[in-house]
Structure 1
Amino acid sequence: MKVKEVAKLTGISIRTLHHYDDIGLLSPKRKNGSGYREYSDGDLETLQQILFFKELGFPLKKIKDVLNSPSFDRREALKLQKKMLLEKRARLDRMIGLIDQTIQHAEGEIQMTNKEKFEGFDFSHNPYEQEARERWGDQAFDQSNAKLAGMSEDQQKALGVEMNGIYRTLADLRHGSSASEESQSAIKAWYDFLNTHFGTYSLDAFKGLGQMYVADERFTKNIDRFGEGLAQFMSEAMAIFADQNK
């Protein structure tokens, strides 16, 4: 399909589709000779994924990172998106109910306490951590928190030095191939570090943690302090390591 046909089909403007192409988010092949963009069925599936993620509030940069991850699985993403959209719908239903009550209160039909006026708001929800807990269990998270709490200040400092050293080694490698022997050796050091100090990480959990490095901007921002693009590189290297060692 040509760009005009895709715009008509989806309701997305041609300018937006061109922008997605320019930033490398959705780049259809060019027809030989004319140079026109031609969208395949696969491109349309990718576009659908982009729109689902946008509806969930993902910025374009993060959508690009997630879609480009070697560990990305479309069916798994659809299941997660459905779950998050259902959660979003439930939150919206609660907000609508709160508005209806507030209108009734304003018109004198009911009385609301100050506490009831804010019961529909929830600023503590963290879908990424919750999803990780549901997929890979609470054990790894709880063991990590308990282990840190039981360390002395000097022990925590030494642990931080060791962790930063691994990050710096990986940062030096981030412009190369995440599948290279050197990169995989460095990511094994990270895998061993986590299993030594923070409980037991299965290969699937390790791969899932790498996915969170690019899906959750808090992880990305923290890791990329050692070098821009490090989170993406580590995510790819972790997925390759997990798949090769199963």
Structure 2
Amino acid sequence: MPYMVKEVAELAGVSVRTLHYYDQIGLLKPAAITPAGYRLYTDEDLERLQQILFFKELGFPLQEIKQILDSPGFDRAQALRDHKQLLLEKKKRLEEIIRTVDKTLSSIEGGITMDKKDMFGGFDMTKIKEHQEKYAAEARAKYGSAIVDETERRTNAYTESDWARIMGEWENVIRGIVEAMENGPADPQVQEGVGKLRQHITRYY
């Protein structure tokens, strides 16, 4: 069953413009184009798009994603298993940071001095870095060193001031969500905050 570009955009939660761009750069080309110029996508195209979005969530640039997916040795199932491990570690870290936010709010509102160690719960990147290094080694063996080296160069370029800025942005986003939480998840401010949170995670992590 072929899918029109608007259907694919709605299914994946991306814009039609994004799909057009993916087509232009050869990252996700439709299986066919009708005489009227409409792009048609197959189930296999949707699977590739899913994989693209997984790699994007882990911070891979589009050109590197294309090289990996087009590699003869690409194993979709193994890639998904690797993605899952990294995402689970990120989930644990985010849950710990949320607990740290709650503890900090409680200390502020209750006038209680917060334990200094508790102030930094969730900021330790050790576990995530371990999984990233493991994944990087596997990716280097499968897809070549050039792709992985470029990814590491980009992510390792963060300085202490960069991390301070990143965490400052994080705190502002969380604060906006917390302020509107009593209004329920459908509240526009909550939804806007969740959107900003997702963008923040995608951009930096």
Question: Paired residue for 1:197?
Answer: none
The answer to whether the 8 A contact 1:21-1:27 is kept is yes
The answer to whether the 8 A contact 2:28-2:49 is kept is yes
Describe how 1:90-169 pairs up with structure 2 within 5 A. Answer: 90-108=92-110, 110-124=112-126, 125-126=128-129, 127-131=131-135
One-letter code of the match for 2:8?
V
Tell me the distance in 2 between the aligned counterparts of 1:19 and 1:111.
51
From 88, 101, 106, the equivalent of 2:90 is: 88
Question: Paired residue for 1:151?
Answer: none
One-letter code of the match for 2:100?
L
Check if 1:207 corresponds to 2:154: no
Give 1:113 deviation, angstroms. 3.0
The answer to whether the 8 A contact 2:4-2:41 is kept is yes
Residue correspondences, number: 150
Tell me the distance in 2 between the aligned counterparts of 1:206 and 1:214.
8
Provide Cα deviations, 1:135-169, integer angstroms capped at 9, x if missing partner. Answer: 6xxxxxxxxxxxxxxxxxxxxxxxxxxxxxxxxxx
Name stretches of at least 5 consecutive residues in structure 2 with no aligned partner: 155-205
Tell me the distance in 2 between the aligned counterparts of 1:212 and 1:86.
25
The answer to whether the 8 A contact 2:30-2:39 is kept is yes
RMSD, aligned α-carbons:
2.7
User: Any runs of at least 4 consecutive aligned residues in structure 1 with deviations exceeding 6 A, and if so which?
Assistant: none
Check if 1:7 corresponds to 2:25: no
Where 1:87 maps in the other structure, the secondary structure is helix
Question: Paired residue for 1:50?
Answer: 52
Give 1:29 deviation, angstroms. 3.0
Tell me the distance in 2 between the aligned counterparts of 1:54 and 1:206.
18
Structure 2 CA distance for partners of 1:57 and 1:100, relative to 1, 3 Å: same
Tell me the distance in 2 between the aligned counterparts of 1:82 and 1:212.
22
TM-score of the aligned structures, taking structure 2 as reference length: 0.63
The answer to whether the 8 A contact 1:128-1:216 is kept is no
Structure 2 CA distance for partners of 1:219 and 1:109, relative to 1, 3 Å: closer
Question: Paired residue for 1:31?
Answer: 33
Tell me the distance in 1 between the aligned counterparts of 2:136 and 2:61.
20
Give 1:211 deviation, angstroms. 4.3
Where 1:107 maps in the other structure, the secondary structure is helix
Structure 2 CA distance for partners of 1:132 and 1:29, relative to 1, 3 Å: closer
Give 1:10 deviation, angstroms. 2.5
The answer to whether the 8 A contact 1:213-1:220 is kept is no
Provide Cα deviations, 1:6-37, integer angstroms capped at 9, x if missing partner. Answer: 12332321111101111111011333533321
TM-score of the aligned structures, taking structure 1 as reference length: 0.53
Question: Paired residue for 1:19?
Answer: 21
One-letter code of the match for 1:6?
V
Larger CA deviation: 50-59 vs 82-91 = 50-59
From 138, 150, 154, the equivalent of 1:217 is: 150
